[in-house]
């Protein structure tokens, strides 16, 4: 296949893959312009991988249940996506596949073209992101073996936080831990990188001031930015750190972990399951990791009410801490699934922060406006839909070889 931004036989496209433990999201972007359009040509996802009823959804198609080989459900889901992409391409050509990879460790601070050596490096970071890293690497490995001529790139969630000062990166462990790579890396970097582009477009120079971005989804973190660069973040060495999440604890007294292992005699595997899969909103409520479910029953379920109160309290506490690091606050921005859609949780968070001089406009909040604060608010409150896939496609286009280079069809074997 001929690479390049145009092709006489049809458009040249970039495929973005975002692989999680139970889902694979995908999006196709046209390379005819640089940067590519922010709206993908086509996108979708396979979700519920490994469960009883996985389904597939795509642009213009109602999700439908699919059958995946229970022995290799993830591989089957990837094959399904590749077949659908091939069918969608028509006379188009695939220029590259770019992957969202959660962890780049202390070596990878920028998007990179993947070969066997890079893949081996990235496998070394699996213990730092066990919920996400293995699945992106499985997709990379399959494509490297089966379609070696197809360019693949990796974009790292940790890369955006490379600008935070050393005092923020360091953990208060013996210094040789720093030298071994135990440090605050930060995550959700593709989301925050998108905000660093979108916010000044919408809000002008105010976005270059003291900004806290709240990426609130099933995973959640905050990022303190100044001049559109990361200065501090709540999620540090691992995806367990910082805010309370859907099933993850967030920051936790390490003494509690020692107690579980030493006194209650839980194994390392059992503790890991609790911290990653049985805590957070789900663990406290005993009902669900989804705030929508808890909001629906909190009036009659005390534990749902408690879980939501703790969730909001942890966010408010960390926003206050990051505001102190920044020396004040000019803008608070909500993004990701909960941040973009939960009117009620935005209200509770902002009301608890009125001491900072922020005033939420109830009508703007209910209308899902992009500016949520009143004109007299000392802190601008904003909502900005994130676009991690576009950031990845943009980087892939930058890394692509010149138009004379050769690529490969993605036709399934």
C-alpha distances out from residue 128 to 107, 109, 197, 210, 315, Å: 14, 16, 28, 30, 23
Structure tokens given for 235:
């999620």
The pairing of beta strand 55-58 with beta strand 61-65: antiparallel
Residues in the annotated binding site for ATP: 25, 215-219, 290-292, 337-341
Check: CB of residue 367 under 8 Å from CB of residue 341: no
> Rounded distance, CA 186 to CA 194, Å?
15
> Rounded distance, CA 94 to CA 310, Å?
46
> Rounded distance, CA 98 to CA 16, Å?
5
Question: CA-based Rg of the chain, rounded to a whole angstrom?
Answer: 22
Give the 3-state secondary structure of residue 357: coil
How many other C-beta atoms can be found within 10 angstroms of the C-beta atom of residue 256?
12
Structure tokens given for 356:
């900072």
> Rounded distance, CA 57 to CA 49, Å?
13
- Is the four-CA dihedral 87, 92, 95, 98 of positive or negative sign? negative
Check: CB of residue 49 under 8 Å from CB of residue 24: yes
> Rounded distance, CA 86 to CA 350, Å?
46
Residues in the annotated binding site: 18, 25, 100, 215-219, 290-292, 337-341, 388
Whether 176 is catalytic is no
DSSP letters, 2-61, are B-SS--TTS-EEEEEEEE-SSEEEEEEEE-SSSSPPSS-SEEEEEE-TTSSS-EEEETTE
Please provide residue 383's backbone torsions phi and psi, each rounded to the nearest 5 degrees.
-125, 125
189-203 helix and 388-399 helix, angle to the nearest 10 degrees? 100
What single DSSP character describes residue 289? S
The pairing of beta strand 12-19 with beta strand 23-30: antiparallel
- Is the four-CA dihedral 257, 262, 264, 266 of positive or negative sign? positive
Residues in the annotated binding site for Mg(2+): 18, 388
Q: Which position among 7, 34, 79, 157 bears the catalytic label?
A: 157
Active site residues: 157
């Amino acid at each position: 296949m001929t690479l390049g931004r145009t092709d006489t036989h049809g458009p040249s496209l970039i495929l973005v893959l975002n692989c999680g433990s139970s889902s694979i999201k995908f999006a196709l972007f046209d390379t005819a312009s640089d940067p590519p359009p922010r709206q993908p040509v086509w996108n979708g996802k396979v979700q519920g991988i490994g469960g009883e009823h996985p389904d597939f959804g795509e642009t213009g198609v109602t999700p439908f249940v699919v059958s995946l080989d229970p022995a290799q459900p993830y591989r089957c889901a990837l094959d399904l996506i590749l077949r659908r992409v091939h069918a969608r391409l028509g006379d188009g050509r695939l220029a590259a596949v770019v992957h969202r990879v959660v962890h780049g460790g202390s070596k990878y601070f920028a998007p990179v073209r993947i070969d066997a050596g890079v893949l081996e490096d990235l496998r070394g970071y699996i213990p730092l992101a066990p919920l996400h890293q293995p699945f992106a690497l499985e997709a990379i490995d399959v494509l490297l073996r089966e379609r070696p001529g197809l360019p693949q790139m990796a974009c790292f969630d940790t890369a955006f936080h490379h600008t935070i000062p050393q005092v923020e990166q360091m953990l208060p462990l013996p210094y040789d831990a720093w030298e071994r790579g135990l440090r605050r890396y930060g995550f959700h970097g593709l989301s925050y990188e998108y905000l660093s582009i979108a916010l000044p477009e919408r809000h002008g120079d105010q976005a270059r001031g003291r900004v806290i971005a709240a990426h609130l989804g099933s995973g959640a973190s905050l990022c303190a930015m100044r001049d559109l660069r990361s200065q501090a973040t709540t999620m540090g060495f691992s995806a367990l750190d910082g805010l309370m999440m859907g099933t993850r604890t967030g920051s936790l007294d390490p003494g509690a972990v020692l107690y579980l292992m030493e006194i209650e005699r839980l194994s390392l595997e059992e503790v890991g399951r609790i911290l990653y899969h049985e805590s957070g909103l789900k663990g406290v409520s005993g009902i669900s990791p989804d705030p929508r479910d808890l909001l629906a029953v909190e009036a009659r379920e005390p534990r749902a009410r408690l879980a939501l109160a703790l969730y909001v309290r942890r966010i408010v506490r960390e926003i206050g801490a990051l505001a102190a690091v920044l020396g004040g606050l000019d803008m608070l921005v909500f993004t990701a699934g909960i941040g973009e859609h939960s009117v009620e949780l935005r209200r509770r968070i902002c009301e608890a922060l009125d001491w900072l001089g922020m005033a939420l406009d109830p009508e703007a909040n209910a209308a899902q406006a992009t500016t949520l604060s009143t004109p007299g608010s000392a802190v601008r409150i904003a909502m900005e839909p994130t676009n991690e896939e576009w950031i990845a496609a943009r980087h892939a286009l930058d890394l692509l070889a010149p138009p004379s280079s050769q690529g490969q069809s993605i036709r399934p074997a």
